[in-house]
Amino acid sequence: MAGHGAAGAKMVVRIHPAALTEIEMEIKTELEKLSKEGLVDLTGSLAWNDAFGCFTRAGFEKLVWPQIGEKAEWIIYFDINGMHALNELHGSYDPVDAMIKNVLAVTRATDFVAGQWKSGDEFLVCVTQADDRAPVDPQGMVNRLAAEMQKQGLSATFAIVPVVSLKLAENVEPAIREVYAAKKARGVSR
């Protein structure tokens, strides 16, 4: 504990741990515990987006991809059309976020979703293959996503690319280019 004496000189007071009361030790223990729990909570909040019910880009890149990269078969990348106008129409982000969450709920338990890949309206679905399942049809997944989007009053531009590398960027970048090229061809800005 530091303080200043009468002449403004800094003085340090050291308390021997044996002098701490039981209550002070409990407080210290609880503070340490809260710090650790806070770090776990912070890590979780940085990795997961509750509003969309999916991983954040950082969470996917740092925590998920290293675990699933070898099982990944396909990347489905999509950019929701007219997101700004949708938020304006509904008066806030919350209703649109809920619609997107409903769309993402059609993915399989063995697929992994990450949201807000470049900005707020791009999403990635990593389709994995389980040994005991029939081969995955990525176009079928796109069809399910698009059908649910239509129910929610949304639309998107999609790209499907095969996973060809354990380096995530080498798989995602071609999908991003494909989506932006399709939007540009339709005269839609990014």
H/E segment holding residue 159: strand 156-162
The confidence score (pLDDT) of residue 1 equals: 46
pLDDT tens for residues 27-77?
A: 666 656 655 566 556 666 788 898 999 999 999 999 899 999 999 999 999
The β-bridge relationship of strands 112-115 and 54-56 is parallel
Residue 43: per-residue pLDDT = 62
Which amino acid is residue 78, in one-letter code?
A: F
Query: Tokens 């675990």 identify what position?
Result: 67
Question: Average model confidence (pLDDT) for the chain?
Answer: 84
Burial class (CB in 10 A: 0-12, 13-18, 19+), 34: exposed
CATH for 50-185 (3.90.190.10, 3.90.1150.10, 3.30.70.270, 2.60.120.20): 3.30.70.270
Torsion, CA 190, CA 113, CA 137, CA 131, rounded to 10: 150
Amino acid of residue 129: Q
Backbone dihedral angles phi then psi of residue 113, each to the nearest 5 degrees: -120, 140
Q: What percent of the chain has pLDDT over 90?
A: 55
Give the three-class secondary structure for 128: strand
